[in-house]
Structure 1
Amino acid sequence: METTAPHIAVVYATAQGSTREIADFIGASLTARGALVEIADAEHAPDPTRFDVVILGSAVHDRALLPALGDYVRSHRHELRERPVWLFSVGLGPALVGPIGRLMGRAVPKQIAALREMIGPRDYHAFAGHYERAGVSFTARTMYRLVGGRRYGDLRDWPAITAWTDTIAQELKLPSAQAIPTHP
């Protein structure tokens, strides 16, 4: 019995490129397992009805997903509910430590929760992204430190991103990777 590889869309919205790099890594990982993957930014994303599976990702600004991904979800909510969907976000919350930071990092902002409920993804995961000190006001830097921000730069947890991607591959019953993709 021959099985056909799932056709997967990885649709993302990025502000500074961190989310795009995560989307590219997820796409490469699933491609290495035999899936047919198309990666597109939300503003130029294809119709989800062309795909068996959709993975959505967005940077988080002001406790919300970027407008381009929100618009994509709202425009295609019915089609997205009819297929397996996974959702991820990229922001500061997961990088925060200490009691206040961990509490803030685990909380799903209301606007993200509303979009999540609209499409009913199989899973939602928040990842840390980049946070550079340059160009950030003294007040914002102070708040970041007070809520548990320890360092600046690339805060992404690639082993966590890999593990999340592996759970998607396992649920889709994809074979083991033929080559292991590397992250940026």
Structure 2
Amino acid sequence: MPKNVLVAYGTTNGATAEIAESVAAVLRKEGLTAEALAAGSVGSTEPYDAVVVGGGLYAGRWHRDARRFVRRNGEDLAHRPLWLFSSGPLDASASERDIEPVPWVRKAVVRLDARDHVTFGGCLREGAKGWVARMILRNGKGGDFRDFGHIEAWAAGIARELTRD
């Protein structure tokens, strides 16, 4: 039975969207139906059998659109398989060790009985929106710290769980 998976994301500059697209691509490759959508554009989670939600980290907080999506759909998310991811550290730390979720996300993991949470490295490129982002770039702290091998392996684990259920 094919499962329909939503990969919703909150992003400001597009890096978290690229992670979400990669997750959805792996799920499709593994025989699932999956689509990546901006969290703010999702009307309902009703059509989906499982959900993955990702949010970029900004000043220690998950992206506002991801938080709003989880709040708006919390009751429904608690009754279907759910995975969460964060994207943010602008260094190699996410590739070197597991990084605990920020407090709001940690509470959501527990409250909604999410199957897993992972923090992936972030990406901040020239031309990024926002004063803080421009200051980070001006201080030479930008770059792409995403590990797509890790992202794809994590997504393949989700696919294995969903096809086993």
TM-score, normalised via structure 1 length? 0.76
Structure 2 counterpart of 1:122, from 111, 115, 123: 115
Letter in 2 for 1:40: L
Q: Deviations over 1:8-46 (max 9, x none)?
A: 111011111111001111111111222111221011113
Pairing 1:158–2:157 present: no
Q: Which structure 2 residues correspond to residues 19-38 of structure 1 after superposition, within 5 A?
A: 19-38=16-35
Q: Deviations over 1:47-96 (max 9, x none)?
A: 11211100101101121111111111111111000000010010017723
1-structure distance, mates of 2:82, 2:160? 14
Letter in 2 for 1:116: V
RMSD (CA atoms): 2.5
In the other structure, the counterpart of 2:106 is 113
User: Is residue 99–residue 118 contact of structure 2 (8 Å, CA) maintained in 1?
Assistant: no
Letter in 2 for 1:118: R
Pairing 1:57–2:76 present: no
Q: Deviations over 1:114-146 (max 9, x none)?
A: 2222322100000001134783259x949x6xx
Q: What is the identity percentage for the equivalent residue pairs of Structure 1 and Structure 2? A: 27
Work out which of the two has the higher radius of gyration on C-alpha atoms and give 1 or 2.
1
- Displacement of 1:157: 0.7
Give SS of 1:58's match: strand
Question: How many residues are treated as equivalent by the alignment?
Answer: 157
In the other structure, the counterpart of 1:42 is 39
| Unpaired segments ≥5 residues, structure 1 | 145-151, 175-184
| Unpaired segments ≥5 residues, structure 2 | 128-133
In the other structure, the counterpart of 1:182 is none
TM-score, normalised via structure 2 length? 0.84
Letter in 2 for 1:154: D
